[in-house]
Structure 1
Amino acid sequence: MTIDGFATRDDETRAFSLEERSFSRGELPSGARAGDYIVGYAIARGGCGAVYEARHSRTGARVAMKVLHGTLAASPKMVKRFLREVEVVRLLKHPGIVEIYDAGELADGRPFYVMEHLDGVTLDVLLREEGRLSPEQALDLLEPVCSALEAAHTAGIIHRDVKGSNIFVTRSAPRAVKLLDFGIAKLMEPDAGATGFTTAGRAPGTLTIMAPEQILGGAIDARVDVYALGVLLHRLLTGKLPFYSPDATELLRQHLEEPPPRPSRRTPLPPALDAVVLRCLEKQPEHRFASVKSFLCTLREAVGEPASGRSSLPDVTVDAIAVYLDLRARFDEDDLDDLIADELGRVLDLAEERLRSAGLTLVSTTGNEILAVRQLSFDPEEAQRGREEVLEAAVMLQDEIAQTTRPDARVHVNLCLHAGPVTVRSMLNPEIIGGALAQVGSWAPVEDVHGLCATEEAVRGISGFELAAGPPGLVLVAARPLSPPPSPTLRCGPA
């Protein structure tokens, strides 16, 4: 049987040839032929396939080519799922959905399809580069995503995996936003007798964005995509996912049981935006927005129409110093007693109070971390004094935490400083919206650090503190011990 140039196989147990085994281990070599196309370089790799830059052998037209992994091509189910993406996308002719031009098979039998080549980055990468977005920026990005989803839903297709890595933002002007990867899309009204691809208890999708009914393997409709939009909007506005745990079971429990956090708990936002996110993240689908269109209309109202002529001042980049507190708790859920929970809350409350008192703005706060930032003066001497004041406050906070926290091997506190640029909206009423300093993952330690640590940028030119070698790229900072007072000199008077 063939589907659009593909030959599907019913033999799941056929042996791999030497060529196929080499393909499953590595990449398509540059210059390889795939139908009418010549393969260039690898663009990206995923769990099911790899994407390559390629060119048409006759016209030279530049395209992107997605190829199923060799180890998966032996499975008829995986081949069908791969072909399903081609079938679904070809049903949708929309400027916000990547266009598929052609499809075929490699010499080893692996299916591939050819799509438009896009020059840009995924939304995941954009967020890592720029940090959290303003409500207006989030709306600008979500408008075309919602338009693409609305077209899919109208055609009876649910995406089921609306996340940052599946949204592509082009670098060219005017900027285009494309919704990618319909590999696990589902028809809302499948043909009679269609079995689909979902196995009970193993619903496809991404755990960080899955709606409760999707997790449970129940009946789904367009409102699972509305749930994912709520997760995405929360992340755009705060830089954080509403639910996260490295443990999959705990993450699923959060989606199923925990009330979603208000975005305004993590960054200053109006209540109207909180309401939009929380309605998307309702556990029961009937309590969410009924459609992507109603979600988008409400989001527009919450953001508000931009002022005529956009008279506000442009975003600017300024120097700042940041303090990052990372509270690491390692224990099973059954081990979390009231004393530990109280202790975690006490450390966070103490840190918030001390950092605010030192003139820092709490840019991001969650249940286990705080990022606080203080802008520095344009005057070099004043900027130096500002860094010294923040460093002194961090040393005092580290000492206070160490002296008052009950020793417990299951809990560890990392406290780190860094100085660098931040992007600020409106110097009249400053709001930190991004920049290198906000990318905590690029400078905060991964390992546990015992004591206050700082980057070289944070302590450069500063005296009055004890500095020692720390983890790579970091130094350990402590208050310099006071010199003991000189011993009094005894003078002997006349006998």
Structure 2
Amino acid sequence: MTKEDETRPFSDVERASARGELAPGTVAGDYLLEGFIARGGCGVVYGARHARSGRPAAVKVLSEAVAHSRRVVERFAREIEALQLISHPNIVEIYEVGEMDNHQPFYAMERLEGQTLDALIRAETRLAPREALDLFEPICAALGAAHAAGIIHRDVKASNIFICSGKPRTVKLLDFGIAKLMGPEEGQTWLTTAGRMPGTPSIMAPEQILGGPIDARVDVYALGVLLHRMLVGRLPFHTHDMDEMVRKHLEEPPMPPSLRVPLPLELDAVVLRCMEKRRERRFSSVEELVRALREAIGEPASGVQSGPDPTMPAVAVYLEIRTRGSDDLDEGLAADIGQVLDMAESQLSSAGFILASTTGNEVLGVRLLPADAAEQHSERRAAIEFATALHEALDRRDGADARVHVNVCVHADEVQARPTSPPEITGGALMCAGLWAPADDVRGVFATPSATAGLDGDEAPARRRA
């Protein structure tokens, strides 16, 4: 075998080049790139360090493939300009702006470690009102600073909000790529280009969708959508049809959050006012919105003492609907999903479970457990027996659609419960169904080890994949 025939591993440079990425060691101004972090619509973000001080940073580089587009370059420049205009602890800090040797624009910014709000909501299903407020206030503070600087974000969504690890917890508002800058000559109104729809349709205010005059209240609308998702675990409008999504935002009133999960009516009022179709009916500023939200939740400013709700043991029955072989929600599929949800909610309520979370494809019922260990065993056994009977009833339902599969799961853990009548479940590990419910389809009832601990083996249903 000759030397040319020998195999060898690819170098870091070759692997990066094959993926269309810049290789580690590439120079961007005073920074050395260390490795790929993420890719967006027109730019790539790399981990980096300052060549002399070693300070960690993130460097966003405009992709070479789109650098010839005047529109893309303008958007990239607008993002840099927007960030440079604002100095605020809840907005990412810019260290350096420049061009690389091949004329690709870049900027270096502080490097963040943690997770997006989108990831947090997916993991926890929904957030307790006070946790939502803790995250919501810094988001609004960042937007308040942006609005004061003449900037509308126009894309305030959970994936553009970053929760930094470490203490104290810091929240950062990201991605000003479609922010609209108001020049002094433009007066009090920002204008979009007629016929364009910059932003994410699932969170956009009617005037933004229509391409008409906009102001800071489009961000207030998006904050209402965000708050709904934080409290409920899902967007107020959900459809895979883009035209239908637009129609809903233009015409359909959102469902009050309290109709989906147990929440105070005062929170309904805050969310629904944010999402008014006519902007003059919304909160006039993010500051006014935050004051109303604090009042609705009962923070100290409203004269009500705050603090964490008591932690209590509980057992949960969790039902998740999954569809097979169809991406379209036709009339028959929708009807059967609705039938499953109605049956689950009715039977859980009748059995004394608190409906802690209900969405378009899941129901989480919670029953608080007594302090006595023997009584806890009895309650967990009863929950498993109930879940088994519920699963059998769902299997026998009339007109069952073969495309609908239902996972029924039982789990025991702690919850935070507000001592009202009935108790309000506001948080806790039990609420994070994504961490304990099975990822696969299962037949029968799935009972976790914490639900079956101490019970006889024949009382713990087998966990079977479908």
Which range, TM-score by smaller chain? 0.7 to 0.9
Secondary structure of the residue aligned to 1:58 is: coil
* Structure 1 stretches lacking a partner, 5+ long: 1-18, 477-495
| Selected match of 2:311 from 307, 316, 319 | 316
Residue of structure 1 in register with 2:416 after alignment: 424
| Selected match of 2:260 from 245, 250, 266 | 266
* Structure 2 stretches lacking a partner, 5+ long: 1-12
Q: Residue 214 in 1 paired to residue 203 in 2?
A: no
Residue of structure 2 in register with 1:399 after alignment: 392
Match for 2:240: what amino acid? P
Residue of structure 1 in register with 2:151 after alignment: 157
Residue of structure 1 in register with 2:74 after alignment: 80
Aligned residues of 1:347 and 1:401 also touching (Cα < 8 A): yes
Residue of structure 2 in register with 1:96 after alignment: 90
Secondary structure of the residue aligned to 2:64 is: coil
Residue of structure 1 in register with 2:343 after alignment: 350
Q: Partners of 2:17 and 2:198 in 1: how far apart?
A: 26
Deviates more, 1:267-276 or 1:126-135: 126-135
Q: Partners of 1:371 and 1:467 in 2: how far apart?
A: 19
Residue of structure 2 in register with 1:226 after alignment: 220
Q: Deviations over 1:145-193 (max 9, x none)?
A: 222212222222110011122222333333332221111101245868x
| Selected match of 1:292 from 286, 289, 292 | 286
Residue of structure 2 in register with 1:360 after alignment: 353
Match for 1:324: what amino acid? L
Residue of structure 1 in register with 2:4 after alignment: none
Q: Deviations over 1:332-372 (max 9, x none)?
A: 67x537xx776654443322121123332211123443121
Residue of structure 1 in register with 2:165 after alignment: 171
Aligned residues of 2:270 and 2:292 also touching (Cα < 8 A): yes
Aligned residues of 1:52 and 1:66 also touching (Cα < 8 A): yes
Secondary structure of the residue aligned to 1:162 is: coil
Match for 1:205: what amino acid? G
Which has more helix, going by share of residues? 2
Secondary structure of the residue aligned to 1:151 is: helix
Secondary structure of the residue aligned to 2:288 is: helix
Structure 1 position 224, deviation (Å)? 1.0
Aligned residues of 1:319 and 1:422 also touching (Cα < 8 A): yes
User: TM-score with structure 1 length normalisation?
Assistant: 0.78
In the superposition, relative to structure 1, how do residues 462 and 49 fare at CA in structure 2: closer, same or farther (>3 Å)?
A: farther
Structure 1 position 431, deviation (Å)? 3.8
Aligned residues of 2:154 and 2:180 also touching (Cα < 8 A): yes
Match for 2:411: what amino acid? A
Structure 1 position 142, deviation (Å)? 2.1
Q: Partners of 2:318 and 2:160 in 1: how far apart?
A: 32
Match for 1:298: what amino acid? A
Match for 1:424: what amino acid? Q
In the superposition, relative to structure 1, how do residues 27 and 372 fare at CA in structure 2: closer, same or farther (>3 Å)?
A: farther
Q: Partners of 1:73 and 1:197 in 2: how far apart?
A: 26
What is the 5 A alignment of 1:7-46?
23=17, 25-46=19-40
Residue of structure 1 in register with 2:101 after alignment: 107
CA RMSD in angstroms comes to 3.5
Match for 2:172: what amino acid? K
In the superposition, relative to structure 1, how do residues 385 and 217 fare at CA in structure 2: closer, same or farther (>3 Å)?
A: same
Structure 1 position 455, deviation (Å)? 5.0
Aligned residues of 1:417 and 1:458 also touching (Cα < 8 A): no
Q: Residue 278 in 1 paired to residue 272 in 2?
A: yes
Structure 1 position 464, deviation (Å)? 3.8
In the superposition, relative to structure 1, how do residues 178 and 454 fare at CA in structure 2: closer, same or farther (>3 Å)?
A: same
Q: Deviations over 1:21-63 (max 9, x none)?
A: 9658243333332221122343433333232332211122222
Q: Residue 371 in 1 paired to residue 364 in 2?
A: yes
Select the structure of larger CA radius of gyration: 1
Q: What is the percent sequence identity of the aligned residues?
A: 52
| Selected match of 2:433 from 415, 435, 440 | 440
Aligned residues of 1:123 and 1:165 also touching (Cα < 8 A): yes
Match for 2:275: what amino acid? L
Aligned residues of 1:166 and 1:180 also touching (Cα < 8 A): yes
Q: Partners of 1:357 and 1:58 in 2: how far apart?
A: 67
Structure 1 position 454, deviation (Å)? 4.8
Q: Partners of 2:214 and 2:43 in 1: how far apart?
A: 26
Q: Residue 53 in 1 paired to residue 47 in 2?
A: yes
Deviates more, 1:311-320 or 1:26-35: 311-320
Q: Partners of 1:350 and 1:308 in 2: how far apart?
A: 41
Secondary structure of the residue aligned to 1:71 is: helix
Number of aligned residue pairs: 447
Q: Partners of 1:407 and 1:118 in 2: how far apart?
A: 48
What is the 5 A alignment of 1:451-466?
452-454=445-447, 458=451, 461-464=455-458
Structure 1 position 422, deviation (Å)? 3.9
Q: Partners of 2:449 and 2:191 in 1: how far apart?
A: 52
Deviates more, 1:178-187 or 1:354-363: 354-363
Q: Residue 181 in 1 paired to residue 175 in 2?
A: yes
Q: Deviations over 1:219-245 (max 9, x none)?
A: 222111011110111122222221222
Q: Partners of 2:71 and 2:129 in 1: how far apart?
A: 42
Residue of structure 1 in register with 2:60 after alignment: 66
Q: Partners of 2:291 and 2:420 in 1: how far apart?
A: 30
Residue of structure 1 in register with 2:406 after alignment: 414
Secondary structure of the residue aligned to 2:115 is: strand
Residue of structure 2 in register with 1:250 after alignment: 244
Aligned residues of 1:132 and 1:433 also touching (Cα < 8 A): no
Q: Partners of 1:420 and 1:465 in 2: how far apart?
A: 15
In the superposition, relative to structure 1, how do residues 97 and 271 fare at CA in structure 2: closer, same or farther (>3 Å)?
A: same
Structure 1 position 274, deviation (Å)? 0.6
Structure 1 position 86, deviation (Å)? 0.7
Secondary structure of the residue aligned to 1:217 is: coil
Q: Partners of 1:96 and 1:55 in 2: how far apart?
A: 22
